[in-house]
Amino acid sequence: MKILVPIKRVIDHTVKVRINSENSAIDTNNVKMAINPFDANALEEAVRLKESGKASEVITITIGTEKAQEQLRTALAMGADRAILIKSALPVDLGGIQSLDVAKTFYRIANRENPDLILMGKQSIDSDAGQTPQMLAALLGWPQSTYTSSITILEDGDEQLEVAREVDGGVETLRLKIPAVISVDLQLNKPRYARLPDIMKAKNKPLEMLEFVDLLQGSSHIKLLKVSEPPPRAPGVTLPDVDTLIDKLRHEAKVI
C-alpha cells in the first residue's frame, strides 16, 4: 500500500498570532512555524503502517513557499520516504491558495503517483477551512472518512479499511474501499519527535520541487476583504467567595 500524506506549514499552535497593521493578513514574519498538528497525526499513522509492514511507501507533499522544505525535512525525519514541494509565491493561509486549489493540485499528483491511501489532517489551524480532504476525495471519486480516530487495515473482503470517526454524539464506524482519502483528528495517535540520527538521514532523502503555476492557476473566487480582531468580551470581576458567586449568578446575571 502506497500512502500520500499532504502536510501544511502553519504558524506553530503555541504562538499567539497577530493581525498586521493593515488588517489584511496575519503577521507571519519571524514567527515559529510547524507542521499543521493534525497533519503530524496523519504522517505518524502512515509511518506506523509502514513500520508494521502494511504500507510500502510514504510520500509527503506540501504546497507552500521554499521555506516549507523545513517541514518536509521534518516529515522525512519522522519516517516519510520522499517528499514533494509544490512551490507557490501566493499565501496559503488566507486570501491566496485555498482548499479547492490545493485539492485540484493534489488530484493531479494522485493521478501521477497512484497512492492507495491519502492521509491528511482534518483541518488547517490557520484557515480553519476543513475542506481539502473531502474535496480531493470528490474530485478523485474516492470514499472519504473525516475526523478519523482509528484506522484498521482489513485483510479480506472487498473493503480494505475500517475507520472510526468522531461525530456529534458518539463514534461511527465505517468500512471503505481503497483507494480512499482519510482525514484525521488528534485522538488517532501521538506523533513522534524526530531523533537526531533520523534528522541527519532525512537530509539525503529525495525532495522533488514542482511549480504551482505549472499545475494550476489559482482558481478560487474568494476575495479576502479584511482580517480583524474578534470583539472583546466585557471585562470581568474577581469574586471573594462562593456565596458571592451564587448571588451574582442568581441576581445579577440571572442564569441560575
Ligand X SMILES: Cc1cc2nc3c(=O)[nH]c(=O)nc-3n(C[C@H](O)[C@H](O)[C@H](O)COP(=O)(O)OP(=O)(O)OC[C@H]3O[C@@H](n4cnc5c(N)ncnc54)[C@H](O)[C@@H]3O)c2cc1C
d(C-alpha 83, C-alpha 34), whole Å: 16
Element (H, E) at 246: helix 242-247
Tell whether residue 15 is a contact of ligand X (CB under 6 A): no
User: Considering the rule CB under 6 A, would residue 8 count as an interface residue with ligand AMP?
Assistant: yes
Residue 60 engages ligand AMP in binding (rule: CB under 6 A): no
Given the complex with another protein, which of 81 and 126 has the nearer CB atom? 126
Instruction: Judge contact between 136 and 118, C-beta under 8 A.
Output: yes
For residues 13 and 67, which CB has a smaller minimum distance to ligand X in the complex?
13
Instruction: Tell me the CA distances in angstroms from 216 to 102, 170, 193, one per residue in order.
Output: 9, 39, 34
Residue nearest to ligand AMP according to CB distances in the complex: 121
DSSP string, 37-70: HHHHHHHHHHHHHHHTTS-SEEEEEEEE-GGGHH
Q: According to the binding rule CB under 6 A, does residue 102 interact with ligand AMP?
A: yes
Among residues 17, 19, 26, 37, the one that binds ligand X under rule CB under 6 A? 37
The minimum distance between CB 248 and ligand AMP, in angstroms, equals: 40
Per CB under 8 A, which region of 66-74, 110-118, 141-149, 195-203 contacts another protein?
Answer: 141-149
Binding flag, residue 36, ligand AMP (CB under 6 A): yes
- Cα 238 to Cα 242, 246, 247, 255, 256: the distances in Å are 11, 13, 14, 18, 19
Q: Return the range that interacts with another protein (CB under 8 A); candidates 48-56, 70-78, 170-178, 200-208.
A: 170-178
- Dihedral, CA atoms, 188, 91, 141, 2, nearest 10 degrees? -50
Question: Residue 158 or residue 168: which is nearer to ligand X going by CB?
Answer: 168
Q: Nearer to ligand AMP by C-beta: 90 or 199?
A: 90
C-alpha span between 52 and 85 (Å, rounded): 27
Q: Which stretch binds ligand AMP (CB under 6 A): 11-19, 71-79, 123-131, 194-202?
A: 123-131
Contact flag: residue 17 with another protein (CB under 8 A): yes
- Cis peptide upstream of residue 179 (ω within 30 degrees of 0): yes
Distances (CA, A) of 108 to 5, 157, 254: 14, 29, 57
**Residues within window 197-236 making contact with another protein, judged by CB under 8 A:** 219-230, 233-234, 236
Binding residues for ligand X, per CB under 6 A?
13, 37, 125, 186
